[in-house]
Amino acid sequence: MTQFLHGVEVIEIDDGSRPIQTVKSAVIGLVGTAPGAASAIAATLTLGSAILNDGMVFTAKKAGTEGNAISIEVVDPAAADESLAVTVDGNKVKVTLATDASKVITSTAVEIKAVIEADADATALVGVVVLGDGSGDVASAPRTYLTGGENEPFPLYKPVAVAGSRKRAEGLGVGGTLPAAIDDIFDQTGALVIVVRAEEGADDAATQANIIKAMKGWLDSQTETGYTPRILIAPEFSQVDAVSSEGEAKAKRLRAIFYSDCERVATYTDAIKRARQFGERVEVTWPWVRVFDTEQAKEIDRPYSARAAGLRARIDAEKGFWWSKSNQQVYGIVGTSQPVDWSLGDPNTTANMLNENKVSTIIREGGFRHWGNRTCSVDPKWTFEQTRRTADIINDSVQRSHMWAVDRNITKTYVDDVIAGVNAYLRELKALGAILGGECWADKELNTPATIQKGLVYFDFDFCPPYPAEHIVFRSRLNNDYLEEVFG
């Protein structure tokens, strides 16, 4: 505030709580291979024509959008006895045409091609192809940019966002694992998928190593695409223990869940044993599913993880991240690769034994349904996937929404503002049904003068998520007292 002012001054007070935005939960992280993926396209420019033999096609040496910044200018010097010359200034290529004693242009397309190829700077930017025999004299042309350059749609090991569009995914081409996985996901919903393409190796071991390398792209996704994947999959590779172990590690860093397939020929007991290798960040699924492949015109077996991920994204969008995906219909399948017996009230079915041992499966009842709520956690607190994910989404939302609070002075107003913002968010979640209740507070025992003096301030908050009705018990009694109604 100024020391003296003969007038009116307005001072903006930047106090008050801030709203908390829930982070996007239905983002799938997908790694795989696509050897037929589209390449980058080089920018081009055509001057002249083949009919007059003065045509030239300039093509950027480096494919991609950078080539669209290159320009070509062909200049008539309007002077006598000038020599053909080329100059380069950054991305600007300037060709000065040769003339005779009467100031008539004498440079042909072939000669321009030769002078450009003789200049190191020019040839580093563009290549030149003549149209026709190249013997025609070239006319001057104003500065014109090359066009049509496009970047590689799915560069190796880089995260790329595909926002529910099969058209966008066409850049993956055919072959490899990614195109089929995208189809599996999109059969469930038009999800937002962060795709990271890995290079196919010389053998299976090399490819698996590349898949593990590609998973780092999930960590880079927030910076590169603006989205953090919360549902992680590596179809056709996650049955490999090393791949799933790395997926679990990435899930922990991202506050995500990794869906792990079993081997196609694995038995249900193999699946139960496999689930013991992982923790709360992994959901193991068994068996594979059968789908109709239009290219092969027959039914084939597919790993289930991509469809499970699509289902999870669909439930997030339709019902909320706090809902279980169990007992929800899975679209686009015609069966399972191995039979899964199931009965609603029989504890000795394969489906029930799998669920009891933390393996999710598929049952057939009014369509094919995902059956199973549980992660591989040994801690009962994080048994249910929806509980783990609800905590992840709330924790991440609170964390990311408090950038504004960093480095501000720790005052009573500051503390009250933070608490008010978090409590308002928890009330909003309760109104949505995402939690049953929650509260934020500042613990006086933690926030001592010594901790505050170090710039450290503590806020505690709690919440209670809804839990799935996994086991419903009806207690039935025979009561003959109702016989009185016969003669009543």
Q: Is the pTM of this model over 0.85?
A: yes
The owner of tokens 């307005």 is: 10
First to last CA, the chain: 89
What's the pLDDT at 199? 98
The owner of tokens 């590349």 is: 210
What is the spatial distance between Cα 163 and Cα 190, in angstroms, rounded to a whole number? Answer: 7
Give the mean model confidence (pLDDT) for residues 279-302.
96
Quick: pLDDT tens for 222-232: 999 999 999 99
The owner of tokens 């026709």 is: 132
Closest-CA residue to 288 (of 273, 308, 310, 311): 308
- Amino acid 290 reads R
Give the mean model confidence (pLDDT) for residues 311-329.
98
What is the spatial distance between Cα 310 and Cα 357, in angstroms, rounded to a whole number? Answer: 24
What is the spatial distance between Cα 393 and Cα 176, in angstroms, rounded to a whole number? Answer: 32
Whether residue 449 has pLDDT greater than 60 = yes
In this structure, of 14-18, 199-203, 450-454, the range with the lowest mean pLDDT score is: 14-18
Tokens of 378: 């040994």
Quick: pLDDT tens for 402-435: 999 999 999 999 999 999 999 999 999 999 999 9
147 pairs with which residues across the strands? 44
41 pairs with which residues across the strands? 150
**Could you give the angle at which helices 241-254 and 216-225 cross, rounded to 10 degrees?**
40
What's the pLDDT at 164? 87
The owner of tokens 């003296």 is: 4
What's the pLDDT at 297? 93
Strands 460-464 and 335-336: what pairing?
unpaired
Q: What is the mean pLDDT of the chain?
A: 95
Backbone angles phi, psi at 18, to 5 degrees: -115, 145
What is the spatial distance between Cα 302 and Cα 247, in angstroms, rounded to a whole number? Answer: 19
Q: How far is CA 131 from CA 61, 112, 209, in A?
A: 19, 12, 47
Omega into 287 within 30° of 0, i.e. cis?
yes
Give the mean model confidence (pLDDT) for residues 379-402.
97
What is the spatial distance between Cα 322 and Cα 319, in angstroms, rounded to a whole number? Answer: 8
What is the spatial distance between Cα 230 and Cα 218, in angstroms, rounded to a whole number? Answer: 10
Confidence of residue 1 (pLDDT cuts 50, 70, 90): low
Alpha-carbon dihedral sign for residues 436, 442, 443, 444? negative
What's the pLDDT at 10? 73
What's the pLDDT at 11? 66
Closest-CA residue to 166 (of 150, 152, 148, 184): 184
Quick: pLDDT tens for 2-52: 677 755 777 676 777 788 889 899 999 999 999 999 999 999 999 999 999
In this structure, of 268-272, 362-366, 480-484, the range with the lowest mean pLDDT score is: 480-484
What's the pLDDT at 273? 98
What's the pLDDT at 488? 66
Task: Kindly give the residue spans of alpha helices, DSSP state H, lying in 215-337.
Answer: 216-225, 241-254, 268-275, 305-318
Give the mean model confidence (pLDDT) for residues 177-192.
97
